[in-house]
Chain A
Amino acid sequence: MTAPALDHSPGFLAEARRTTLGKVFLSPKGGITGAYLLALVLVALLAPWITPYPYDAQNLPLASQPPSLANWLGTDEFGRDVLSRIMYGARTSLSVSVTAITVSVFIGMCLGAAAAYFGGLLDRFITAVIDLSWSFPELLIALILVAIIGPGLTSTMIAIGVAYLAQFTRLTRAEILALKNETYIEATIGLGASHSHVVFRHLLPNAMAPVIICGMLATGDAIILEATLGFFGLGAQPPVPSWGAMMSSGTAQIFKAPWVIIFPGLVIAITVVAINLFGDALIRALDIKSKIREG
């Protein structure tokens, strides 16, 4: 461990990760939020075995019951247990957001790297498209895309991925542009390295950390976007529970059974705050400046 955290030696990320993760989890902010996020992922993975009730078990005599000992968070209009549905909903909401953002980060990195590395017409074209979509709210882009493809979980993923693509492309492009003129890159090119070698072995690994953290923070926004699409009835189709879809069907019962709406929304807010604070702790541990926040 002689290399400092932001040394430009290849593979510094892999090396730093071991120590920074420890740093993140040992800080109070990162520790608490990290534990919460880990627990949430575990709940999502283990949902079929640990929920008190199946997510689709209807019990009409017990419909719209307030929170009680049997149903900790109450029941919805079909007598389904809200807690069980939130736990199952974590599966849908997390997997959709994480998948969409992961793919989006990957494509954004490739586009951003290509634009910055090759420059010229390609760069201008990509920048123009990105600037254009950047100026539209993500929600609108996603809504229009879902209208084109049709409702469902797959189109929700595509819509979220495309909606956030601009952000990752922009950030990668800026990072690579800054790195491109470093002496060691010029030296590598001078030694006759191929384009792909320079981009994938030298530029991307060094530009990656901020983009990945940006992706992590965007996952929080993606959870909200997924919930909003679900709320409009465009995401998960019944009876599959997602946090947004639960609130969508709960709206009609808002006066009779407000807990059907209150709890999923609270879980979303807490989760997104946790992701943000964890991201902050990570940024601090990695010593990356505030450029991620301002895009």
Chain B
Amino acid sequence: MLSYTIRRLLLLIPVFLVVSIVIFLIIHLVPGDPIDNLVRVGSTPEQKAEITARYGLDRPLVEQYLIWLSQLAQGDLGTAIVMRRPVADLIAQNLPYSLTLGGLALLFSTVLGIAAGVIAAMNKEGRIDRTVMTGVLFGSTMPSFWLGLILILVFAVQLRWFPVSGARSWESLVLPVLTIGLGGMALVARVTRIAMLETAGKDFVLLLHAKGLPARRIQLRHVLRHALLPVVTILGLRIGWVLGGAVTVEYVFARPGLGMLLIKALSQHDYPVVQACLLMLAMAVMLGTLLGDLIQAAMDPRVRSALT
């Protein structure tokens, strides 16, 4: 298990390098110059060239990339060109908001998604199964920004239970978490349901039935435990998605966060900020996948023995 963990961590390094090159290239293909946002109207080309040189934007791409990478290794993400602050500060300021929102939303969609999947699987092909799965499907087909707006209309404007926007108190978290969580529930519920139905057809379940265990106990104690394996994989994959996919929700609720920072930086062509945001998201995706695999290995002896 330990050697597997170490091997997986080492494997992340080449992937990280490739990801960083891709992100770097994408950013430098974006037309529009951050310098245009900096220089005053009517300044001379010399002044512009001086500012360009100060940020190193006049050097060859390979050199710029190597400089960026070596600074990155020292934990220096550079300075935001338009926002004029160290990028690391901006990230540090916004990341906690994203992590809180993403973590709670993931928790919400996991708990409710698994519950919905279990209920549907235990009433396979019946009316409850159909109702639950159609309801869950509806939740995932509403555009998240629209769901957010509707929740604001109902719970913030009409009922005045929660604030419309901002991130000052825990109450301001409720509506954003609901918005993302309801959307993410469908996938978890679907995977849980299918995994449970597949497990229910296995021989050991038949044996449990033959032993005379009550059906409910078999479903919850034995079938669900097996069915959770693919769910864990899916959840690992979702970590990065929850962080990055929260862009619209952060926008609708005017919450600070990585997504908002990215949108703002993209519109201002602030290279260093965009690079850092994408890199953070990519790392979240990679770590999420790794975490999912590790948990799976810890849960399932078969996976573990296949590794050694």
Contact = CB atoms under 8 A, between A and B. Distances in A.
A290 interface: yes
Interface stretch (A12-20, A62-70, A71-79, A266-274): A266-274
Given A136-B282, A139-B244, A140-B281, A261 B146 contact: yes
B55 to A, nearest CB: 20
A258 B18 CA distance: 46
B143 A143 contact: no
B140 to A, nearest CB: 8
Contact of A268 (B30, B146, B152, B194): B146
Contacts of B262: 140, 143
A139 B289 contact: no
Interface stretch (B89-97, B214-222, B245-253, B295-303): B245-253
B247 A140 contact: yes
A144 B25 CA distance: 12
A133 B248 CA distance: 20
A144 B26 contact: yes
A258 B146 CA distance: 11
A294 B142 contact: no
A191 interface: no
B247 A269 contact: no
A224 B141 contact: yes
B145 A231 contact: yes
Contacts of B191: 294
Contact of A143 (B31, B145, B152, B263): B263
Interface in A263-295: 264-265, 268-269, 272-273, 276-277, 290, 293-294
B229 to A, nearest CB: 13
Nearest to B23: A144
A136 B247 CA distance: 13
B137 interface: yes
Interface residues of B, number: 43
A132 B282 CA distance: 9
B245 A137 contact: yes
A231 B248 contact: yes
Contact of A254 (B141, B143, B153, B278): B153
Interface in B228-274: 237, 240-241, 244-245, 247-248, 251, 262-263, 266-267
Contact of B266 (A143, A228, A231, A258): A143
Contacts of B152: 254
A3 interface: no
Interface in B133-188: 134, 137-138, 141-147, 149-150, 152-153, 157
A278 B237 CA distance: 27
A121 interface: no
A147 B251 contact: no
Contacts of A272: 141
B26 A148 contact: yes
Contacts of A277: 134, 137
Interface of B: 18-19, 22, 26, 29-31, 134, 137-138, 141-147, 149-150, 152-153, 157, 190-191, 194, 237, 240-241, 244-245, 247-248, 251, 262-263, 266-267, 278, 281-282, 285-286, 289
15 contacts: A132-B19, A135-B237, A135-B286, A136-B240, A220-B141, A227-B143, A228-B145, A232-B248, A254-B152, A265-B150, A269-B143, A272-B141, A276-B137, A277-B137, A293-B190
Closest 10 CB pairs of A and B: A265-B146, A272-B141, A135-B285, A137-B244, A137-B245, A147-B266, A269-B142, A140-B244, A224-B143, A137-B241
Given A148-B29, A232-B263, A247-B149, 13 more contacts: A137-B244, A139-B244, A139-B245, A140-B247, A144-B278, A147-B30, A227-B143, A247-B145, A251-B149, A262-B150, A265-B142, A269-B138, A269-B146
